[in-house]
């Protein structure tokens, strides 16, 4: 039987526009492991159990089946459209003039919605790689970040916002140097930024920068993405659920270390979007934010879990002449050209 978590107990976060949204969502990327049927039936279960925020993307290849699930949930009265916060993202091969419009039109048709709650630029480069490619794949047409190119994509984002196709705008996989360049140029600012975030990769500086800009942070891979695709696995990666700081809090609360990661993210003020196709896990993740919070001492201890362990390095997006995945992330404080 589906476990139902009382929505009233789920903390909420306020966007710059004043809208309150749930402080936990469900991811929908099957990690090249779970197919569209499994992911969409998990979305159906998650709605029944109380999730009201879903992180979608065209590149996840499952929006059409997730759309059927949303439609069925609205038809049956399980949930109303305005109770859900549904996000999606434009993929890297759809940045050129007109393509953002085409991309959101397809997403809206697939998801069977008249509007999306937040639409994101998935990566700040128009560098395409095929879904499911291996870590050594490179596209010779790839290019480094360029402010003018990005802003012409963002202009389309502003247009779809003005048409009412999305209620809010977001960026993803950004850095402080890139944000410093583009935010002053935005006519309509992003209200949300999606970034990798888990105890061993806290991105404290970027997180604080976003908060100062009144931008809400969505944290992806909140549990350290134990089932991530092979291309995102590298020697030296650490498992968040095995870190002593995480394990000791888990033991103190008698819970799985994954739930410590989720509680930590919400109590820190970000929105984790954990993924699972298993009801026990996705229901457990939602329930975890409604009960038995971490203590201040545990939150302090978890700050020490930082290991600078970026999992989604993005090397498949590198351009000819780039030295390594670090070039995507502007580590020396300037935009790598
Ligand atoms: N913007 C971007 O560029 C970007 C990049 C990556 C991801 N994302 C988004 O972020 C979402 C989450 O990232 P992710 O799926 O890579 O990583 P994640 O949520 O950190 O990890 C997911 C894995 O954790 C396991 N898990 C979940 N809950 C658990 C629990 N309570 N106990 C034990 N194990 C648990 C699941 O295994 P089981 O399936 O066995 O339960 C699942 O395979 C994605 O689905 C996607 O929506 C966005």
Q: Is residue 336 part of a domain?
A: no
With 70 as the cut, is the pLDDT of residue 109 above it? yes
Query: Which atom of ligand 1 is least distant from the CA of 34?
Result: 39
Q: How far is the CA of 276 from the centre of ligand 1 (A)?
A: 6
Out of 3, 122, 220, 258, give the residue to mutate to test ligand 1, the one with the largest number of ligand atoms within 8 Å of its CB.
Answer: 220
Whole-number Å distance between alpha carbons of 197 and 328: 17
With 90 as the cut, is the pLDDT of residue 295 above it? yes
With 90 as the cut, is the pLDDT of residue 101 above it? yes
Q: Is residue 303 part of a domain?
A: yes
Q: How far is the CA of 32 from the centre of ligand 1 (A)?
A: 12
Strand partners, 218: 194, 271
Average pLDDT rounded to a whole number, residues 224-240? 92
Measured in degrees and rounded to the nearest 5, phi and psi for residue 11 equal -60, 155
With 80 as the cut, is the pLDDT of residue 269 above it? yes
What pLDDT, on the 0 to 100 scale, is given for residue 232? Answer: 87
Domain of 199, CATH number, reads: 3.20.20.100
b/e map 108-133, b = 16+ CB within 10 Å: bebbbbebbbbbbbbbbbbbbbeeee
Q: Is residue 337 part of a domain?
A: no
Out of 66, 225, 311, give the residue to mutate to test ligand 1, the one with the largest number of ligand atoms within 8 Å of its CB.
Answer: 225
With 80 as the cut, is the pLDDT of residue 132 above it? no
Mean of per-residue pLDDT scores for the chain: 96
What pLDDT, on the 0 to 100 scale, is given for residue 3? Answer: 80
Q: How far is the CA of 83 from the centre of ligand 1 (A)?
A: 23
Q: Is residue 334 part of a domain?
A: no
What pLDDT, on the 0 to 100 scale, is given for residue 1? Answer: 60
Query: Which atom of ligand 1 is least distant from the CA of 30?
Result: 45
Q: How far is the CA of 195 from the centre of ligand 1 (A)?
A: 13
Q: How many structural domains comprise the chain?
A: 1
Q: Is residue 163 part of a domain?
A: yes
- Could you list the residue range(s) of the whole structural domain that residue 224 is in? 7-329
Average pLDDT rounded to a whole number, residues 187-191? 98
DSSP 277: S
- pLDDT tens by residue, 192-204: 999 999 999 999 9
With 90 as the cut, is the pLDDT of residue 169 above it? yes
Catalytic residue among 51, 60, 119, 209: 60
Q: Whose CA is nearest to atom 28 of ligand 1?
A: 281
Q: Is residue 217 part of a domain?
A: yes
Residue 162 has a CB neighbour count (10 Å cut-off) of 11
Could you tell me which residues come within 8 angstroms of residue 296 by beta carbon, excluding any fewer than 6 positions away? none
Q: Is residue 150 part of a domain?
A: yes
Out of 24, 27, 46, 238, give the residue to mutate to test ligand 1, the one with the largest number of ligand atoms within 8 Å of its CB.
Answer: 27
Q: Is residue 216 part of a domain?
A: yes
* Catalytic site includes residue 60: yes
């Amino acid at each position: 039987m589906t476990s139902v978590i009382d929505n009233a107990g789920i903390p909420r976060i306020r966007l710059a526009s004043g809208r309150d949204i749930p402080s936990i969502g469900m991811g929908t990327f099957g990690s090249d492991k779970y197919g569209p049927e499994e992911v969409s039936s998990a979305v159906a279960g998650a709605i029944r159990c109380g999730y009201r925020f879903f992180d979608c993307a065209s590149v996840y290849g499952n929006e059409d089946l997730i759309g059927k699930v949303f439609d069925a949930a609205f038809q049956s009265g399980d949930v109303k459209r305005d109770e859900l916060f549904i996000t999606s993202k434009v993929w890297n091969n759809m940045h050129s003039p007109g393509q953002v419009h085409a991309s959101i039109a397809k997403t809206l048709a697939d998801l069977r919605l008249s509007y999306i709650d937040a639409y994101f630029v998935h990566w700040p480069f128009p560098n395409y790689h095929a879904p499911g490619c291996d870590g050594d794949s490179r596209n010779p047409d790839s290019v480094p970040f360029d402010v003018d190119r990005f802003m012409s994509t963002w202009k389309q984002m502003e247009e779809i916002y003005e048409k009412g196709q999305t209620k809010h705008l977001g960026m993803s996989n950004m850095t402080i140097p890139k944000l410093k360049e583009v935010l002053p140029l935005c006519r309509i600012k992003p209200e949300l930024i999606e970034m990798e975030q888990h105890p061993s990769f806290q991105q404290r500086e970027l997180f604080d920068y976003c908060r100062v800009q009144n931008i809400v942070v969505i944290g992806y891979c909140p549990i350290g993405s134990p089932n991530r695709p092979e291309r995102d696995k590298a020697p030296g990666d650490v498992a968040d659920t095995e870190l002593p700081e995480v394990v000791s809090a888990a033991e103190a609360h008698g819970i799985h270390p994954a739930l410590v990661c989720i509680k930590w993210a919400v109590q820190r003020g970000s929105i984790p979007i954990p993924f699972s196709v298993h009801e026990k896990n996705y229901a457990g993740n939602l329930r975890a934010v409604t009960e038995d919070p971490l203590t201040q001492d545990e939150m302090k201890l978890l700050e020490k879990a930082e290991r600078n362990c970026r999992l989604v390095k993005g090397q498949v997006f590198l351009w000819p002449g780039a030295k390594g995945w670090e070039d995507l992330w502007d580590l020396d404080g300037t935009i790598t050209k």
